[in-house]
Amino acid sequence: MSDDANLIEGATVVARALAQQGVQFLFGVVGIPVIGLAAAAQAEGITYIGMRNEQAASYAAGAVGYLTGHPGACLAVSGPGMIHALAGMANAWSNCWPMILLGGACDTFYEGMGGFQEFPQVEAARLYSKFSARPSSIDRIPFYIERAVRLTTYGRPGAAYIDLPGDMLTGKVPESSVQYVPRCPPAPRSLACPKAIADAIQLLKSAKQPLVVIGKGAAFGRAETNAKRFVEETGMPFLPTPMGKGVLDDQHEQCVAAARSKALQSADVIVLLGARLNWMLHFGEEPRFRKDVKIIQVELCPEEFHGSVPVAVALNGHVDSVLEQLVNALGQSKPAWKHARTSPWWKSLSEKVEQNRIVSAELAKSDEMPMTYYRVFGEIVPQLPPHAVIVSEGANTMDIGRTVIPNRYPRHRLDAGTFGTMGVGLGFAIAAALVYPDRQVVCIEGDSAFGFSGLEIETAVRLQLPIVFVVVNNNGIYGGFDQETWAANQQEGSPAPGNCLLPNARYERVAEAFGGKGYFATTPDELRSAFREAIGNKKQVSLVNVMISPYAVRKPQEHEWLTRKSKL
């Protein structure tokens, strides 16, 4: 027996440590020095997904973390590859999703000498991670992997980075010297202070116009059962944030998402469930909120309280556990103060909901040509399977889609999120199709958004993931030129505005190039037929490229979508 028989390579140690910690999916782009790590991961039963760009790979890893509650992993080569993957790490950091980035690095012997793709990677990752480190030796790798998994899931979830020099991956140590760490247990759940629970109940009893806001933190925290109990037992109206959709069915009779502006602006007491008072909720400030509004915030991270406005009651703990505390604290008193559907508050919200639904329904039937966003969704929504996972990105495409596409189940919507990241669509869709192999994944995005990572269509085809992609094509970012205006502009020699893209680009042919099915739709009938066929095809990637007016816009808003302070 040779001396090498009892030696183990560093790449195998990494792969076994990941498997030991329950990491199921590894997305990446291989190259020097991480080629062997991808193969080692496959040998240990980890699903390795070779992507076309590290950005999409890192977005997919973060999406897996959100959908499963356990970190997905991304594998990148040294230097530029690792830098590309920082995009997904920053996205996970902003959204509070668990993920691990594994970055190859130049051999330790050549550090400081201008080694191949040498870069201060540990330092670069530290800004966007809860843990960023290089293992001290091959036999200590399992310690670092376990710590990365633990820190990405304990407390406020986030990202971790492990730096892996080439000589550490290819180096060998005696197998007996490697001590694998037991799989870290699920994160402990914390409860809110009982006095704070009592204060919250007392404040709710005094509320005349209460509202519940359900954030994606409630979705990540698997709080759907207790959220439903709390909302139904109190009788309060609720509205979800974009990725809080589905924690309670959007079609629930207490959902007032169609009256979002009025609900936020008029509520006197708001219960925030796993949602932050950042730009997505207009910082909790006027004019989007009442000046005297009282906030009851359920939040895992205590540093989040009082960040933009003071909160009346801070309930620090795991959102599902705190909701159970609240439901239990209601006791038998709730019928005496339950907010009845006959109250003036409910009546005003119901009227606004109905008004907005009528407007949206009329827009969805518009005969305007080229089509509008609303007509596109009017043809798509009735054909969506109830359990469909919706991935959405783009400006108006995403924002309008959020208001008109219903989500009935938690963690069945992925979009640009807290970081407002464009380019996440295809990576998210691939991740969702892997996590939910029995669900239809539909990725709806603008033409500009598709361009960020369009070649990941090849990844989806290669993996035989029957995702339906819909490109809502308006020839630009927010909107471009029609064909005639573009031609006239070119003839005059004028520079095209920065928001313009090539008119009538045939994105469906990208899918066809790799063996998928492409559709080009310019009328409602063509779109309806194409989408029906795409949804019915369970064995092939499909892309529907639907042309809309370059000048199509959202219906008039009561406020600008982005709240800003007055100019300095």
pLDDT in tens, 6-61: 999 999 999 999 999 999 999 999 999 999 999 999 999 999 999 999 999 999 99
DSSP state for residue 371 in the 8-state scheme: B
Instruction: Specify whether 329 is located in the same domain as 416.
Output: no
Paired with 446 in beta bridges are: 472
Mean pLDDT, to the nearest integer, of 354-373? 94
Residue 470: inside a domain, yes or no?
A: yes
How many domains would you assign to the chain?
Answer: 3
Residue 374: inside a domain, yes or no?
A: yes
Handedness of CA 256, 261, 267, 269 (dihedral sign): positive
Instruction: Specify whether 330 is located in the same domain as 412.
Output: no
Instruction: Specify whether 330 is located in the same domain as 381.
Output: no
The closest of 390, 389, 453 to 421, measured between CA atoms, is: 453
Instruction: Specify whether 375 is located in the same domain as 313.
Output: no
Instruction: Specify whether 513 is located in the same domain as 379.
Output: yes
CATH of the domain at 340: 3.40.50.1220
The one-letter code for the residue type at 252 is H
Percentage, residues of the chain above pLDDT 90 = 90
The closest of 242, 222, 238 to 66, measured between CA atoms, is: 222
* Lookup: tokens for 564: 């800003």
Global confidence as pTM: 0.95
* Lookup: tokens for 183: 């799989």
Residue 552: inside a domain, yes or no?
A: no
Percentage, residues of the chain above pLDDT 70 = 96
CATH of the domain at 85: 3.40.50.970
Local confidence band at 419 (pLDDT 50, 70, 90 cut-offs): very high
Does the pLDDT value for residue 371 go beyond 60?
A: yes
Does the pLDDT value for residue 334 go beyond 80?
A: no
Mean pLDDT, to the nearest integer, of 259-267? 96
Least confident stretch, 4-13, 318-327, 373-382, 508-517: 4-13
Residue 397: inside a domain, yes or no?
A: yes
Instruction: Specify whether 84 is located in the same domain as 11.
Output: yes
Q: Where are the beta strands (DSSP E) in 31-78?
A: 47-50, 72-76
Question: From its phi and psi, is residue 233 left (phi > 0), alpha (psi between -120 and 50) or beta?
Answer: alpha
Q: Crossing angle of helices 319-330/194-206, nearest 10°? A: 60
H or E element in which residue 174 lies: strand 172-174
Domain boundary among 317, 352, 387: 352
* Lookup: tokens for 264: 């936020």
Phi then psi for residue 519, to 5 deg, are -135, 140
Domain boundary among 318, 352, 386: 352
Residue 449, domain extent:
365-547
In sequence order, the 6+-apart residues with CB closer than 8 A to the CB of 560 are none
Instruction: Specify whether 337 is located in the same domain as 372.
Output: no
> 3-class secondary structure for 200-223?
HHHHHHHCCCEEEEECHHHHHCCC
Q: Crossing angle of helices 373-380/344-364, nearest 10°? A: 90
CA distances from 49 to 42, 217, 311, 456 (A): 10, 27, 44, 11
Spatial distance between the Cα atoms of 453 and 381, rounded to a whole number of angstroms = 25
Spatial distance between the Cα atoms of 114 and 126, rounded to a whole number of angstroms = 22
Spatial distance between the Cα atoms of 265 and 288, rounded to a whole number of angstroms = 5
Spatial distance between the Cα atoms of 148 and 151, rounded to a whole number of angstroms = 5
Instruction: Specify whether 130 is located in the same domain as 219.
Output: no
Mean pLDDT, to the nearest integer, of 185-193? 96
Averaged pLDDT score across all residues of the chain: 94
The closest of 185, 220, 190, 186 to 92, measured between CA atoms, is: 220
pLDDT value for 183:
97
Does the pLDDT value for residue 4 go beyond 70?
A: no
* Lookup: tokens for 192: 């809110």
The answer to whether 69 touches 48, Cβ cutoff 8 Å, is no
* Lookup: tokens for 124: 């670069």
CA distances from 416 to 5, 26, 66, 527, 552 (A): 49, 22, 13, 25, 21
Spatial distance between the Cα atoms of 471 and 462, rounded to a whole number of angstroms = 20
* Lookup: tokens for 418: 């807290």
Over the range 489-513, which residues count as b (16 or more CB within 10 Å of their CB) and which as e? eeeeeeeeeeebbebebebbebbee
Distance separating the N- and C-terminal Cα atoms of the chain: 76
Does the pLDDT value for residue 431 go beyond 80?
A: yes
Pairing of strands 159-165, 131-133: parallel
> 3-class secondary structure for 89-156?
HHHHHHHCCCEEEEEEECCHHHCCCCCCCCCCHHHHHHCCCCEEECCCCHHHHHHHHHHHHHHHHCCC
Mean pLDDT, to the nearest integer, of 514-531? 98
pLDDT value for 342:
86
The answer to whether 499 touches 519, Cβ cutoff 8 Å, is no
Which residue reads 């005639």 in tokens?
484
Mean pLDDT, to the nearest integer, of 470-481? 95
pLDDT value for 1:
41
Pairing of strands 542-547, 99-105: unpaired
Instruction: Specify whether 383 is located in the same domain as 505.
Output: yes
Residue 511: inside a domain, yes or no?
A: yes
Phi then psi for residue 17, to 5 deg, are -65, -40
Residue 553: inside a domain, yes or no?
A: no
Instruction: Specify whether 119 is located in the same domain as 224.
Output: no
Residue 202: inside a domain, yes or no?
A: yes
Instruction: Specify whether 147 is located in the same domain as 274.
Output: no
Which residue reads 């994160």 in tokens?
187
Residue 559: inside a domain, yes or no?
A: no
The one-letter code for the residue type at 150 is R
Does the pLDDT value for residue 172 go beyond 70?
A: yes
pLDDT value for 568:
53
Instruction: Specify whether 492 is located in the same domain as 395.
Output: yes
pLDDT tens digits, 76-134: 999 999 999 999 999 999 999 999 999 999 999 988 888 888 899 999 999 999 999 99
pLDDT tens digits, 536-568: 999 999 999 999 999 998 766 666 667 766 555
Which residue reads 């807290």 in tokens?
418
pLDDT tens digits, 58-79: 999 999 999 999 999 999 999 9
The answer to whether 69 touches 94, Cβ cutoff 8 Å, is no
Handedness of CA 253, 255, 258, 262 (dihedral sign): positive
Decide: helix, strand or coil at residue 27.
strand
Least confident stretch, 198-212, 252-266, 440-454, 478-492: 478-492
Q: Output 311-316 pairs: Cβ under 8 A, ≥24 positions apart.
A: 312/203, 312/269, 313/196, 313/199, 313/200, 313/203, 314/196, 315/192, 315/193, 315/196, 315/197, 315/200, 316/190, 316/192, 316/193, 316/196
